Amino acid sequence: MAGPSLMASLFQRSIDDVIKGLRHCPPGTEPAYIAKSIDEIRSEIKSTDPQMKATALQKLTYLHSLYGADMSWAAFHSVELSSAAAHSHKRTAYLSAAISFDPATTDVILLLTHQLRKDLSSSNSHDVSLALSTLSSICNPDLARDLSPDLFTLLSSSKIPVRKKAIATVLRIFEQYPDSVRVCFKRVVENLENPDMGVLSAVVGLFCELTEKEPRSYLPLAPEFFKILLDCKNNWVLIKVLKIFAKLAPLEPRLGKRLVEPICELMRVMGAKSLVFECVRTILTSLSDFDSAVKLAVAKLREFLIDDDPNLKYLGLQALSIVAQKNIWALVENKDLVVKALSDTDVNIRLEALRLVMCMVSEDNVMEICRILISHALKSDPEFCNEILRFILLTCGKNYYEVVFDFDWYVLFLGEMARVPHCQKGDEIAVQLIDIGMRVKDARPQLVLVARDLVIDPALLGDPFMHGVLAASAWVSGEYIELSRNPFEIMEALLQPRTSLLSPSVRGVYIHSAFKVLTFCVFSYIKLNGDDSSFPSTLTDSVCKSDDQVRFDTVAGQPVSDIELDDQNMIVSNGQTSSAYSVTHHLTQESLLALVNLVEINLGPLAGSNEVEVLERSNNVLGLIKLIKPLLLGSSENSEGDKMKGELKASEAVKLIFYSCSEDLGPVSVNAQERIPIPKGLVLKNNLDDLEEICGDIKLPLLTSFSLAKPQTVDASGNAECHSKEESEPSTESTSLLAEHRKRHGLYYLSSGNIGVTSNDYPPAHDPKDKAIDEAEDLAKLTVKSLVTGRKPSQSKPRPVVVKFDDGEVANIGKNRTDIKADLISGAVKEVLLGDEATTSSSRRKPSSKSRREIDESKNGVSNSDKSELSKAGLGSSKHHGHGKERKHRNSAKDKERDHKDKQRSDSAHGKHRSRHRADKALEAQAPVIPDFLL
Amino acid sequence: MIRGVIVMNDQGKPRLIKFYEFQPPEKQQELVRSIYRILCSRAENVSNFVKADSLFGKDVRLVYKTFATLYFVFIFDHSENELAMIDLMQVFVETLNKCFKAVCELDIVFNFNKVHMVLDEIILGGQVLETSIEEVHTLVVMLGACTDQRRPGAPSCAFVPVSEQPSWKAMPPVHLCHLFLVGREDSN
C-alpha cells in the first residue's frame, strides 16, 4: 500500500502543473485536458495521504471554479479533508466547500456541522475565521440552527477579527433561521457600541442589510445609529448609517427633523465624494420635504454634474432623476447640463440624460423637447437613436397621450420619426398611428395626410423595419378614405409594384385597404349619380335605409340605435361635403372605370398567390369588381329594364359593403375580455383531454379540405367569365363573408358593461348598452357636430378628446408580497427589541419540520417556550436574562413599549391570525409607542 | 450587499470567480461570458458602472475597472455605495499588489488559493469586512506560512498602483486608480 501511494504522491501533478498544462494547451483541446486531469484527480482524491488529497482537491476546485468542471461528486472528500490537522489542508477543504457546495442540494453539508462547530470553538483564530467564512457561504437552515449557539459566543469574542467575521456571518444565520434572532440579537446590538471601527463597520453593515428588508422593526435602534452618525469618523460606517436612515426616516417624521442638520453638516465638511453622494441621495430620497437641505443637495449634485469624471457625472444624473419626481425645479435648474450630457461619449450618461429629459416633458414643452431629441437622434449612433425614439414614443403615448395637446403636430411627428434613418421602432409607431386614429377623431384628417405620404413613398417599401408603419398607414388610408383628398392616388400607392417587397400579412392589409378605397369610390359614384337622378333617388334612399335595417337585423341580431345610424350618415355626408368634394370632380364614369381596371390588372395575378392572406383579400376585391363592373359599363348604355334591376342590385350590394366598412372602429379596452361573464353551465377548467380524442378525427379532414379548397378558388377566379351570370351570388357571398368577419370582430369589440352572452351566440359588434362605446358615440356625435359647424382655427382649438375607458385599461398588477423570511426575522427582532420574552406566533412559524414540534410546544405557554428556546440554544437561561437586564436600563421608553406589548400579547393570545397581528404591530409602531428617540 | 467578484482578462478568461450566493457552475460561466460581452463593448474613459438587472435581477449593478490585462468586476446591489465600491476594488487590487510584490496576471493565475484568501479577508458573505490594506496584508502574511508562495518564472509584467494612500480618504479616485501597465502578459 505504501509503495504505490508514495509513487503516486511523488508523481502527482501539482496545481501549478495543471495550470501550466492548461496554458500550453493548443486551442480546442482544453476540454480534453480538463477531462484527463479530472480522471487523475478522481483516483488521487481517494488517497489517505492528506497532502495528496489536498492537492487533488485544490486542482479540482480550480477547474470547477474557473472552467466550470463538475465537482459535486467530490463533496464528501471536502468534508473529509476539513478535519485535517494542517491549516493549509483545512483551508483547501473549506475553500472547495465554499465554492462548490449548494446549500439547497448538497446533502453532505450536514456532515460538516460537527467540524465547523469544532473549528468555531478552536483557539486558533485562523481556523475560526475560516470556519466563519465557510459558514456564511454554505449556510442552510439546519446549519444555522445547529451552529447559532456557537456563533452567539463568538459575537463577544475578544479577538477583533473573529468578532467582525462572526457579525458578518450572523446575517446568513438570521436569513436561514429567523429564530436565531432571539438568541443572538442582543449581542449584535451591543456591538453597536464597540469602539473598534472594524466591528462597528460590520455591525452597521449587518443592520443596513436587515433594514433593507423590513425597516420598521429597527426604528427603536435609531438613537444608537444617530449617535454613530454624530460621533463616527469612518466613512464606510457613515455611508452605511446613512443608508439605514434613508430607510428609517420616512417611517418616523420626528427622525427626519433631527437628521437633516447633521447630514447637511457632513455634506458641507466632507471631502470624500462617496460620502457626499450618499448624503445627497439620502436627502433626496428620504428627506425631500426639507427645502433647505434639498437645495444644498442639489448644489452638491451640480458639482457632480460638472465634474470631468464620468462616474460622478453618471451618478449625479441618477440622483437628479430621484429628485425630479418631487422637486422638478432641481431638474429644470440643471437643464443645460442634462441636455449637454445627451451628447456625451458615454452611453450610460446619455441614457440617464435622456431619461431626465423625458421627465421634463409637459404639455407646454413637448414639441420643443421632441424637436431637440429628434435632431439628436439624427446625429447619434443607431442604437442610441432608437433609444431616443423609444423614449419619445413612450413618453408621448403615456396615459393616452396625456402630454400631447396638438394631435396634428404629433401625428406629423410620428411620420417624421418613421423616416429617421436607422429607425427600428416601426411597430411602436404603427401602434400609435392606429390607436390615435381610433381614439382621437379630430386627428384623423391630419393622420390621413401623414399616412398618405408614407404609403405613397416607394423608397420606404424596401426597409423591413418600416413594414409595420406602412401597414398602419395603409390601414388608416383605407379606413378613413372618406377624409382623403384623392382616393385614386391612394389606390395607386396601395397597388404600386414595390408592394411585392412587403410581407404577406402587410400585403393583406394593403389589399384590404384597396378594397375599402374601391368600395368608397364606387359608393360615392352611385350616390352622386343617385343625386343626379339617373336613379330615382327616393328609391335608393329607401333601399339604403331598409338595407341598413336588414343588415343590422341580420348581423347584429338587434336593431341599432338611431345615434349610430345618424353617425354613419354623417360620415358619408361629411365626406361628400368637405374632403370628398374633390372626389366628385374626379368621379366620372371613365375615371372610375380606369380605377377598376387598375385594380383588376394589379390584383388579378395575386388571385393565384400562395399566401392565404393575400389570396383571400385579393379575391374579395376581384369579387367586388365582378359585381360592379357591369354597373359601370351598363349605365353608359341605354337603360333596359333588366339591366336596371341588375344595377340596382349591385348598387345595393355596394352600399351594404360600404356601410359595413364605414362602421366606426373604436378602441378596445384591454380588460374587455375579462369583463365577459362566464355563461352558466360553461366549465372552463375541465380537462380537455377527452375533447382531443373526439376532435382528433375531425381535425384532419378539416385541414385537407382546406388545402384542397385553395386550387378551387384559384380556378373559380380564373374562369371568371363562367360565373359572370351569377353575379349576385358571389356578391351576397362576399357581403355575408364580411358580415361574418364583423361578427367575429364583434367578439373583440366587447367592452365594459354586462352583456348576457350565451355560449354560442356572438355578441353584437356595438352594443348600445355598452358604456364605453356609448361614450365614444357621444363623442363621435360631438365631434361630427363640430365638423359640421365648421372647424375652429388650429391654434386656439381645445385639446381633442381622447377616447379612454374608465378602468384605465390597466391589467391588475399583483401586490408584491414581502419576503416571508424577512418577515420572520423582523418579527423576531421586534420581539427582542420591544419585549424580552414576548412570544408571538409570527416568528415561530418555521418551515423546517423538525422545529415545528418545538413551535407547537412553545405556543402552549410563554415559559415553556422560553425554556425550549434556551435549551435549544444551549445556553444557561441566567446568561440570557442577564443580558436582557443589562439592556433594560438603556431606555426606559422601551419598558413602556413592553407593557404595551404585553397587553397586545394577551389580546393576540387567542389564536389571532398572524397577519392581523402584524398589522396591529405596524399600527403600534406608528402610534406614540415609539419613544422620542432623539431627545 | 456584494453579490460577487469576478476577475477576468481582456480575452474573457476568468481568473477569479466568487459569488456570495450559490450559482451553479454553468450559470457562473454564462454570467462571466455575458459580463465580458458587455465590458468589451464599452469604450475607454467612460463611467465604470453597468446596470445588470437582466443578469442578476432588479437594482443590481456592476462596477468594473481595467488594470493592465485584467478586468476587475464587483457585482453589488443598492445597499452599497457605488463610489465606495470603486474604492473597495482599489483596496483589493492594492492589497494584491502588496501581497505579491507588484502583482501581475500570472500571480493571480497561479495563486488561486491566495487570491481567495485575500478576498475573504476583505469581503465575507457579501459584506465588507476590512478596508485597510495593511490589515489584510498582515493577516495574509501570517497565513502565508501555510501557503506556498511559489511564483513560476520571473513575471515580466506588473501593474503597480500609483496611489500612495488609500484613495478612500480623498474620493475622486479615478485618476488615482489609474494603474499603469508596465508590460503585458501574452494572451493565454
Residue-by-residue DSSP string for A191-229: GGG-S-HHHHHHHHHHHHHHHHH-GGGGGGGHHHHHHHH
Burial class (CB in 10 A: 0-12, 13-18, 19+), A457: middle
Kindly state whether B138 is in contact with chain A, defined as any CB-CB distance less than 8 angstroms. no
pLDDT in tens, A402-413: 888 889 999 999
Q: Which residues of A touch B120 (CB under 8 A)?
A: 133
**Would you say the C-alpha torsion A720, A721, A722, A723 has a positive or negative sign?**
positive
Residue A204, pLDDT score: 94
Where residue A930 falls among pLDDT bands split at 50, 70, 90? very low
CB A909 within 8 A of CB A847: no
Phi and psi at A581, nearest 5°, equal -55, -45
Comparing C-alpha atoms, which of A518, A737, A506 is closest to residue A613? A506
A465 has a pLDDT exceeding 80: yes
Cross-strand pairs, B51: B61
B158-to-A35, A667, B90, B118, B161 alpha-carbon distances in Å: 32, 66, 16, 18, 10
Alpha-carbon gap, residue A384 to A422, rounded angstroms: 10
Range with the largest mean pLDDT of A434-443, A790-799, B72-81: B72-81
* Chain B residues close to A277, C-beta within 8 Å: 81-83
Chain B residues with CB under 8 Å of A243 CB are 79, 81
pLDDT in tens, A244-262: 999 999 998 889 888 999 9
CB contact (8 A) between residue B49 and residue A311: yes
Residue of chain A with shortest Cα separation from B84: A274
CB contacts of B130 in chain A (<8 Å) are 164, 198
Handedness of CA A613, A616, A621, A624 (dihedral sign): negative
Strand partners, B16: B7
Closest of A757, A285, A697, A271 to residue A557, by C-alpha: A757
Contact B127 A205 (CB under 8 A): yes
Q: Which of A8-17, A309-318, A860-869 has the lowest mean pLDDT?
A: A860-869
Distance of CA A381 to the CA centre of its chain: 26
Closest residue in chain B to residue A127, using alpha carbons only: B143
Q: Which residue has the higher pLDDT, B70 or A585?
A: B70
Closest CA to A605 of A620, A621, A592, A618: A618
pLDDT given for residue A143 in this prediction = 92
Distance from CA of B146 to the nearest CA of A (A): 5
Q: Could you tell me which residue, A643 or B186, shows the higher pLDDT? A: A643
Alpha-carbon torsion (A776, A778, A781, A783), positive or negative: negative
Residues 6+ apart with CB under 8 A from A196: A160
Spatial CA neighbour of A399 closest among A439, A351, A430: A439
Q: A191 with A158: CB under 8 angstroms?
A: no
Average of per-residue pLDDT across A855-863: 42
What pLDDT, on the 0 to 100 scale, is given for residue A112? Answer: 92
> Region B79-84: what's the mean pLDDT?
92
Cβ–Cβ below 8 Å for A133 and B125? yes
B152 at the A interface (CB within 8 A)?
yes
The highest-confidence range among A465-474, A832-841, A847-856, by mean pLDDT, is A465-474
Is the pLDDT score of A770 beyond 60? no
Q: Which of B3, B27, B124, B165 is most worth mutating to test chain A (most A CB atoms within 10 A of its CB)?
A: B124
Mean pLDDT of A847-852: 42
pLDDT at A708: 36
Chain A nearest-CA distance from B42, in A, is 8
- The answer to whether the Cβ–Cβ distance between B130 and A198 falls below 8 Å is yes
The one-letter amino acid at B155: P
The band of A586, judged by pLDDT with boundaries at 50, 70 and 90, is low
Q: Under an 8 A CB cutoff, do B128 and A275 touch?
A: no
How far is it, in rounded angstroms, from Cα A109 to Cα A101?
8
In this complex, the residue of B43, B127, B142 whose CB is nearest that of residue A171 is B127
On the question of pLDDT at A798 being above 50, the answer is yes
pLDDT of residue A585: 56
Give the nearest chain B residue to A206 (CA atoms).
B127
Tens of pLDDT, residues A717-751? 334 333 433 333 444 444 555 555 555 555 444 43
Is residue A756 predicted with pLDDT exceeding 80? no
Q: How close A136 gets to chain B, by Cα (Å)?
A: 5
Residues A70, B46: C-beta atoms closer than 8 Å: no
Phi first, then psi, for residue A750 (nearest 5°) are -70, 135
Give B14-46 pLDDT, tens digit per residue: 999 999 999 999 999 999 999 999 998 888 888
For residue A77, what pLDDT is reported? 93
| Predicted pLDDT of residue B170 | 32
**How many residues are there in chain A?**
935
Mean pLDDT of chain A: 73
**Å from A703 to nearest chain B CA?**
42
* Amino acid present at A93: A
CA distance A164 to B135: 13
Q: What is the DSSP letter of B61?
A: E
Mean pLDDT of A383-399: 89
Residues of A in contact with B128 (CB under 8 A): 201, 205, 236
Nine cell digits for residue A821? 423570511
Of A40-44, A655-659, A841-845, minimum mean pLDDT range: A841-845
Rounded Cα distance, A336 and A684, in Å: 58
Greatest Cα-to-Cα distance within chain B, rounded to the nearest angstrom: 45
What are A468-488's pLDDT values in tens digits?
999 999 999 988 888 888 888
Q: Is the pTM of this model over 0.90?
A: no
Please name the residue of chain A whose CA is at the shortest distance from the CA of residue B85.
A274
Neighbouring residues of A50: CB distance < 8 A, sequence distance ≥ 6: A81, A84, A85, A86, A89
**CB within 8 Å of chain A, chain B residues 13-42:** 14-18, 20, 22, 24-26, 28-29, 42
Can you tell me the distance from the alpha carbon of A153 to that of A875, in angstroms, rounded to the nearest whole number?
A: 10
Number of helices followed by number of strands (H, E) in chain A: 46, 0
Strand B49-51, strand B159-160: pairing:
unpaired
d(CA A111, CA A146): 12
Among B15, B78, B81, beta carbon nearest to A274: B81
Q: According to the model, what pLDDT value does residue A859 have?
A: 43
Q: Is A596 exposed, middle or buried (0-12, 13-18, 19+ CB in 10 A)?
A: buried
* pLDDT for the residue numbered A94: 94
Buried b (16+ CB within 10 A) or exposed e, A139-166: bbbbbbbbbbbbbbebbebeebbbbbbb
Interface of B with A in 80-119 (CB under 8 A): 81-84, 86-87, 109-110, 112-113, 116-117
Q: How far is B127 from chain A (nearest CA, A)?
A: 7
State the DSSP string of B95-137: HHHHHHTS--HHHHHH-HHHHHHHHHHHEETTEE----HHHHH
Q: How far apart are CA A607 and CA A713, in angstroms?
A: 8
Write the residue in A102, A126, A236 that is nearest to B131 by C-beta.
A236
Taking CA–CA distances from A205, the nearest residue in chain B reads: B127
Confidence of residue B186 (pLDDT cuts 50, 70, 90): very low
Task: Say what the pLDDT of residue A697 is.
Answer: 57
Q: Is the pLDDT of residue A500 over 50?
A: yes
Average pLDDT (A841-863) is: 41
Chain A residues in contact with B139 (beta carbon < 8 A): 161
Nearest to A277 among B81, B146, B188 (CB): B81
pLDDT > 70: percent of chain A: 66
Tell me if B29 and A68 make a contact (CB, 8 A cut-off): yes
pLDDT tens profile A132-155: 999 999 999 999 999 988 998 899
**Nearest chain B Cα distance for residue A301, angstroms:** 14
In 3D, which of A310, A254, A247, A250 has the Cα closest to residue A278? A247
Which residue in this structure is represented by grid cell 485544490?
A: A58
Residue A645: per-residue pLDDT? 62
Tell me what pLDDT residue A901 has.
44
As given in the structure block, the three cell numbers for residue A790 are: 365648421
Q: Which amino acid is at A886?
A: E
B181 - beta bridge partners? B159
* Locus of grid cell 465624494: A273
In this prediction, residue A102 carries a pLDDT of 92
A688 vs A691: CA distance, rounded Å: 5
* SS3 label, residue A429: helix
H/E stretch holding A118 reads helix A112-120
Largest pairwise CA distance in chain A: 121
User: Of A41-50, A197-206, A515-524, A665-674, which gets the smallest average pLDDT?
Assistant: A665-674
Q: Which one has a higher pLDDT value, A543 or B60? A: B60
pLDDT tens string A200-234: 999 999 999 999 888 888 999 999 999 999 998 88
Answer whether A514's CB lies under 8 Å from A599's CB. Answer: yes
Q: Which residues contact A865 (CB under 8 A, 6 or more apart)?
A: A839, A844, A857, A858, A859
For chain B, count helices (H), then strands (E). 7, 9
What local confidence, expressed as pLDDT, does residue A647 receive?
Answer: 64
The candidate with the shortest Cα–Cα distance to A221, out of A196, A192, A250, is A192
H or E segment and range at residue B70: strand B70-76
Alpha helices in A426-497 (DSSP H): 426-439, 444-456, 467-479, 487-494
List the grid coordinates of B112: 488561486
- In the predicted structure, residue A678 carries a pLDDT above the cut 90: no
Residue whose cell numbers read 423538525? A850
Q: Which of the four pLDDT bands, split at 50, 70 and 90, describes residue A28?
A: confident
Separation CA A277–CA A925 (nearest Å):
30
**pLDDT of the residue at A689:** 67
Nearest to A764 by CA among A550, A559, A569, A566: A559
CB–CB contacts below 8 A, A to B: 157
Q: How many CA atoms lie within 13 A of A622 on its CB side?
A: 25
Contact list in B for residue A65 (CB cut-off 8 A) is 17, 25, 28, 112
Q: Which residue type is seen at B166? A: P
More confident residue, A832 or A12: A12
Cell reading at B36: 465580458
H-helix segments, A681-813: 689-718, 720-723, 728-748, 771-789
Q: Can you say how many angstroms the Cα of residue A484 is from the centroid of all Cα atoms in its chain?
A: 38
More confident residue, A108 or A858: A108
Helix or strand run (H / E) with residue B67:
strand B61-67
**Is residue A97's pLDDT more than 60?**
yes
**Position with higher pLDDT, A327 vs A712:** A327
Instruction: Report the gap between the CA of B56 and the closest CA in chain A (Å).
Output: 18
CA distance A87 to chain B (A): 7
Nearest to B124 among A69, A133, A345 (CB): A133
